[in-house]
């Protein structure tokens, strides 16, 4: 038996333990006490009995009566002597008295053995008794002989009788003395026994006293323990009761033993008592309840098994009224005070938590939306600003040849530099915001040569740095293998170009160096380390962390000095991350900056640089023509685009109407039944998506094929595209061939009853297609699709830019590379991919300082440009427009 309770509530750890030793000693003391009492008691009783006090009393009487009986006999003898007449009748009372005396002497003699001859007076007493017996027998002999007595005989008997009197006296007194002594001895023995008894009783009393103390101590401890346990129990009960989780105590069979009010709230049973009911009956939904019913023990076992590690399980439960709710459940096995197995179930209603989570999700989505809205706004703004900036630059360039004062020349140069800086800024912002849009990297890895890319960048940087006392160079450390790697060329170019630009921008004297270090091919694959070092002012350590953040420069003063937006390093950092690397900076004030990153660089064979032969792919497929009379609608806020689209659709056999905004488009589509609608996405007022939705919502033309047109196929529009009900999104610039293909696909597709398709990457892939047509059929189309004056004005500016770029290249002017770069963009914009490709080729060749390739590309570009002009002038000639500004 071991009662052990530990409670740690408040104060030190009091261990109230009633040890087995204490119990044992109490029991032992009790046994000893009872044993001693029994022993002493029986000892005393035995002593009392052994002393034979009763018999002593009686023997005293027996001896005392000896003389009495003798004297009665002597009296009877006297009576007989004095009788008037001696007769046998006289003898009867005499004999009777003698017989009584006789028996008395026998009785006295029977006590003879009681006395010890060794005792003082003992021997005398025994002798006396023996003499008395002898004397009695002598008397008996005389008396028994007499039949009729004579007086003489009686007197003789009397005389003989009297002889014994002294002996009788001696015997009586001796016996009394002996018996008295024996009696006092007995008393002493008894006294001893009583003393022993008292002593033992005292011991026993002490023992009982000790037991009583122990018992009291025990009682106090038990009371303390009971109080403590009650307090612990109360605290625990309060804790459980205050718990927001439902707590249900279950028997091992799943019967409810008790539960807190949170559980009552969760199971909606404040008005009924659940104790004794099965929790499974109340809380388990039908399917699991059936499983429980079929084998409760196995169900409980598996439930406990699942929740053994005390992890919480989210599941569906129902209330006592049958309402289902999402709950979080934990089970714990425990033992109650009697050692029986019990189960504690913790239940949490997730309604509020889930609602809270949903609120958070909504808030997050809203934040993300507004962030992406901001991003889109930035993206759009940058796009919008690019065109006017191009205009400004082009116009400033046109001013160059005019007669200007030296001051105005300087002002013009400042204006040109400022415009160029603004354009660069806008392009940086565009690069960041399109990254920011957060599209995961989906473009596939492609083989490219980092060395070639670096050469190009260094070439461009040299041009920028030539007015300063700064040299730009690069080194390559190769560990065998090929310099060509599988990766993201665009990201690599962006990262290195920005780092180099940054270095050149901030270095006034000294050098900018790019180091490419190819690592060895090992188990984890080859890596390429890129370092860009300069001898510029350096970046103080305390601001290095901020250096990579967007819109950061080291200080406002320096920002003003270098007029940088601080986006370059941010762009570089992002590009490095996209390649799977981290951009590091090692720099000290006035000791230059050393940027480095390393990226995975799997080796691939160098692709053969091949000339792309012009081919008339555009004309390969015959254009689609609608078979029946059908109406089409073009919606675009840009008049030029509107006309271009109109002309294209008319070519495909449609009767075309135009709308300059969404509202107008909705009106028109409710008036006419259009089979096809081309919808510009970015429009003031209703945008393309909203317009499409409005048309789909119930206009006459709700069944039309609606194709979205956008210059920016940003993926964040995918969601809006889906709900807008458009069939497809097409990227600008759009050729008649592409349009024909898409229209035929969707019109025929609709006839076949197939589903509309999602925006596809085909449009994006079109960018990678090197569709080179020496004489673009598209261009003639543009000329058709605009009012002549408008078209001519527009086209003139474009062609002039390209012409000036080519001229600049021919004269090897300082900024010709930039001019060529911009010209390539313009060529793409007006739909001349062949020219664009040739101009790109020039750019690359220049960077590589590959004179042969450059020359070849230059002549290609010039030839294509010439042919286009010939075509256009031909058209013009046919139209008798001899004064065409294109006729140069």
Partner 1 sequence: MADSRSVNFDRARLDDLPQQEFTTSTIWTVGDLSFSGPSLFDVLGAADVSGSTVHLVAANGYEVRMAWEEIEETVPIVATRIDGEPFSVREKGPLWVVFPYDLDPSYRTEAVYALSIWQLTDVRVSR
Binding site for partner 1 (CB under 8 A): 49, 52-55, 57-59, 62, 65, 68-69, 72, 96, 99-100, 102-103, 106-107, 110-111, 113
- H/E element, 533: strand 527-534
Q: With beta carbons less than 8 A apart as the criterion, state whether 865 and 824 touch.
A: no
Closest contact distance (angstroms) between CB of 107 and partner 1 is: 5
Q: CA–CA distance from 845 to each of 450, 460, 650, 804, 842 (Å)? A: 15, 11, 42, 19, 5
552 CB-near residues (< 8 Å, 6+ apart)? 546, 566, 569, 570
Closest contact distance (angstroms) between CB of 51 and partner 1 is: 11
- H/E element, 448: strand 446-448
- H/E element, 562: helix 556-562
Q: CA–CA distance from 400 to each of 196, 216, 406, 415, 455 (Å)? A: 144, 117, 12, 12, 32
Using only C-alpha atoms, what is the Rg of the chain?
Answer: 66
113/883 with CB nearer partner 1: 113
68/582 with CB nearer partner 1: 68
55/769 with CB nearer partner 1: 55
132/483 with CB nearer partner 1: 132
Strands 313-318 and 655-659: unpaired
113/442 with CB nearer partner 1: 113
Closest contact distance (angstroms) between CB of 112 and partner 1 is: 9
99/550 with CB nearer partner 1: 99
Closest contact distance (angstroms) between CB of 21 and partner 1 is: 43
Closest contact distance (angstroms) between CB of 73 and partner 1 is: 10
Closest contact distance (angstroms) between CB of 96 and partner 1 is: 7
99/800 with CB nearer partner 1: 99
Q: With beta carbons less than 8 A apart as the criterion, state whether 154 and 81 touch.
A: yes
Measured from the Cβ of residue 355, the count of other Cβ atoms closer than 10 Å reads 10
57/877 with CB nearer partner 1: 57
Cα first-last separation, the chain: 118
Fill in the DSSP letter of residue 320: T
Per-residue tokens: 449: 């040569």
Closest contact distance (angstroms) between CB of 42 and partner 1 is: 12
Alpha-carbon dihedral sign for residues 697, 700, 703, 708? negative
59/578 with CB nearer partner 1: 59
117/275 with CB nearer partner 1: 117
106/185 with CB nearer partner 1: 106
Q: CA–CA distance from 774 to each of 216, 822, 862, 866, 870 (Å)? A: 117, 20, 11, 10, 12
Q: What is the Cα–Cα distance from 844 to 455, expressed in whole angstroms?
A: 9
Closest contact distance (angstroms) between CB of 228 and partner 1 is: 56
Closest contact distance (angstroms) between CB of 79 and partner 1 is: 15
Q: What is the Cα–Cα distance from 155 to 349, expressed in whole angstroms?
A: 132
418 CB-near residues (< 8 Å, 6+ apart)? none
72/578 with CB nearer partner 1: 72
Residue 446 region by backbone torsions, left for phi larger than 0, else alpha for psi between -120 and 50, else beta: beta
73/448 with CB nearer partner 1: 73
Q: Which phi and psi angles does 731 have, rounded to 5°?
A: -95, 140
Strands 446-448 and 485-487: antiparallel
Closest contact distance (angstroms) between CB of 134 and partner 1 is: 16
Q: Where are the beta strands (DSSP E) in 716-812?
A: 728-731
DSSP per position, 324-372: EEEEEEEEEEEE-TTS-EEEEEEEEE-HHHHHHHHHHHHHHHHHHHHHH
Closest contact distance (angstroms) between CB of 186 and partner 1 is: 13
Closest contact distance (angstroms) between CB of 99 and partner 1 is: 4
Closest contact distance (angstroms) between CB of 123 and partner 1 is: 20
- By CB atoms closer than 10 A (0-12, 13-18, 19+), residue 279 is buried
Rounded to 10°, the helix 286-294/296-306 angle is 120
Length of the chain, in residues: 888
Q: What is the Cα–Cα distance from 379 to 197, expressed in whole angstroms?
A: 115
Tell me which residue has tokens 């050469």: 455
Q: What is the Cα–Cα distance from 170 to 172, expressed in whole angstroms?
A: 5
Per-residue tokens: 372: 């992406």
8/113 with CB nearer partner 1: 113
Rounded to 5 degrees, what angle do the CA atoms 594, 596, 599 make?
175
Closest contact distance (angstroms) between CB of 117 and partner 1 is: 17
103/202 with CB nearer partner 1: 103
Closest contact distance (angstroms) between CB of 86 and partner 1 is: 22
Q: What is the Cα–Cα distance from 669 to 677, expressed in whole angstroms?
A: 9
Closest contact distance (angstroms) between CB of 226 and partner 1 is: 51
Q: Which of these, 721, 713, 722, lies nearest to 762 by C-alpha position?
A: 713
Q: Is 780 helix (H, G, I), strand (E, B) or coil?
A: helix
27/110 with CB nearer partner 1: 110
Closest contact distance (angstroms) between CB of 83 and partner 1 is: 21
68/215 with CB nearer partner 1: 68
């Amino acid at each position: 038996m071991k009662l052990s309770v530990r409670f740690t509530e408040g104060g030190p750890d009091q261990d109230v333990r009633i040890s087995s030793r204490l119990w044992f000693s109490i029991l032992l003391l009790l046994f000893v006490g009872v044993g001693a009492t029994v022993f002493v008691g029986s000892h005393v009783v035995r002593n009392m009995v052994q002393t034979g006090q009763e018999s002593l009393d009686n023997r005293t009487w027996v001896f005392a009566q000896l003389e009495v009986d003798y004297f009665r006999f002597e009296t009877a003898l006297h009576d007989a002597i004095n009788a008037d007449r001696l007769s046998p009748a006289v003898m009867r009372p005499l004999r009777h008295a003698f017989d009584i005396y006789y028996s008395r002497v026998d009785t006295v003699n029977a006590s003879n053995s009681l006395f010890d001859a060794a005792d003082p007076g003992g021997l005398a007493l025994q002798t006396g008794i023996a003499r008395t017996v002898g004397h009695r027998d002598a008397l008996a002999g005389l008396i028994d002989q007499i039949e009729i007595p004579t007086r003489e005989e009686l007197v003789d008997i009397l005389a003989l009788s009297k002889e014994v009197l002294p002996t009788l006296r001696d015997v009586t007194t001796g016996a009394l003395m002996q018996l008295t002594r024996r009696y006092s001895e007995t008393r002493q023995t008894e006294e001893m026994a009583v003393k022993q008894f008292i002593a033992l009783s005292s011991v026993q009393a002490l023992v009982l006293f000790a037991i009583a103390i122990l018992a009291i101590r025990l009682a106090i401890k038990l009371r303390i323990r009971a109080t403590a346990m009650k307090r612990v129990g109360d605290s625990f009960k309060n804790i459980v009761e205050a718990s927001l989780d439902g707590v249900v105590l279950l028997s091992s069979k799943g019967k409810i033993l008790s539960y807190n009010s949170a559980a009552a709230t969760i199971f909606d049973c404040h008005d009924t008592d659940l104790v004794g009911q099965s929790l499974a009956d109340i809380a388990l939904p039908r399917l699991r309840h059936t499983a429980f019913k079929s084998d409760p023990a196995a169900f409980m076992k598996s439930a406990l098994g699942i929740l053994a590690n005390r992890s919480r399980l989210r599941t569906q439960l129902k209330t006592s009224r049958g309402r289902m709710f999402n709950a979080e459940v934990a089970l714990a096995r425990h033992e109650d005070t009697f050692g029986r197995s019990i189960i504690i179930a913790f239940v949490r209603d997730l309604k509020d938590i889930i609602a809270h989570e949903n609120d958070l999700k909504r808030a997050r989505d809203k934040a993300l939306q507004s962030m992406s809205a901001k991003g889109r706004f930035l993206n759009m703004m940058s796009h919008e600003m690019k065109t006017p900036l191009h205009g400004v630059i082009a116009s400033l360039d046109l001013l160059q040849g005019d007669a200007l004062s030296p001051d105005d020349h300087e002002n013009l140069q400042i204006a040109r530099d400022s415009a160029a800086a603004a354009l660069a800024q806008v392009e940086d912002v565009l690069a960041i915001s399109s990254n920011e849009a957060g599209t995961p990297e989906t473009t596939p890895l492609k083989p490219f040569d980092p060395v070639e890319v670096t050469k190009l960048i260094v070439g461009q940087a040299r041009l920028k740095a030539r007015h300063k006392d700064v040299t730009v160079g690069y080194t390559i450390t190769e560990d065998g293998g090929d310099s060509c790697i599988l990766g993201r060329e665009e990201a690599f170019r962006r990262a290195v170009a920005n780092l180099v630009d940054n270095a050149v921008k901030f270095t006034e004297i000294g050098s900018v160096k790019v180091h490419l270090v190819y690592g060895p091919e090992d188990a984890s694959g080859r890596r390429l380390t890129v370092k860009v070092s300069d001898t510029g002012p350096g970046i103080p350590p305390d601001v290095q962390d901020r250096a990579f953040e967007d819109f950061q420069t080291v200080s406002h003063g320096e920002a003003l000095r270098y007029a940088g937006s601080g986006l370059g390093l941010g762009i570089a950092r992002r590009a490095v991350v996209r390649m799977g690397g981290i951009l590091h900076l090692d720099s000290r004030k006035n000791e230059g900056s050393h940027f480095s990153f390393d990226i995975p660089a799997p080796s691939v064979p160098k692709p053969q640089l091949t000339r792309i032969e012009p081919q008339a792919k555009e004309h390969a497929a015959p254009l689609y023509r609608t078979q029946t009379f059908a109406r089409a609608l073009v919606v675009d806020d840009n008049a030029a685009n509107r006309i271009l689209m109109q002309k294209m659709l008319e070519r495909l056999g449609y009767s075309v109407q135009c709308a300059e905004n969404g509202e107008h488009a909705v009106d028109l589509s409710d008036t006419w039944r259009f089979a096809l609608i081309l919808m510009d996405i970015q429009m003031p007022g209703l945008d393309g998506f909203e317009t499409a939705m409005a048309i789909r919502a119930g206009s006459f033309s709700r069944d039309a094929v609606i194709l979205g047109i956008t210059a920016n196929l940003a993926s964040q529009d995918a969601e809006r595209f889906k709900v807008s009900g458009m069939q497809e999104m097409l990227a600008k610039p759009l050729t008649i061939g592409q349009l024909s293909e898409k229209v035929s696909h969707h019109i025929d597709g609709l006839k076949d009853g197939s589903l509309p398709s999602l925006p596809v990457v085909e449009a994006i892939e079109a960018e990678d297609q090197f569709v080179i047509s020496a004489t673009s059929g598209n261009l003639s189309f543009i000329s058709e699709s605009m009012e002549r004056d408008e078209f001519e004005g527009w086209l003139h500016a474009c062609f002039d830019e390209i012409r000036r770029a080519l001229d600049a290249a021919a004269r090897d002017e300082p900024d010709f590379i930039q001019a060529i770069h911009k010209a390539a963009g313009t060529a793409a914009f007006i739909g001349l991919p062949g020219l664009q490709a040739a101009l790109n080729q020039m750019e690359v060749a220049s960077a590589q300082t590959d004179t042969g390739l450059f020359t070849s590309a230059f002549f290609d570009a010039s030839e294509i440009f010439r042919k286009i002009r010939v075509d256009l002038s031909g058209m013009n000639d046919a139209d008798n427009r001899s004064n065409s500004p294109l006729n140069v």
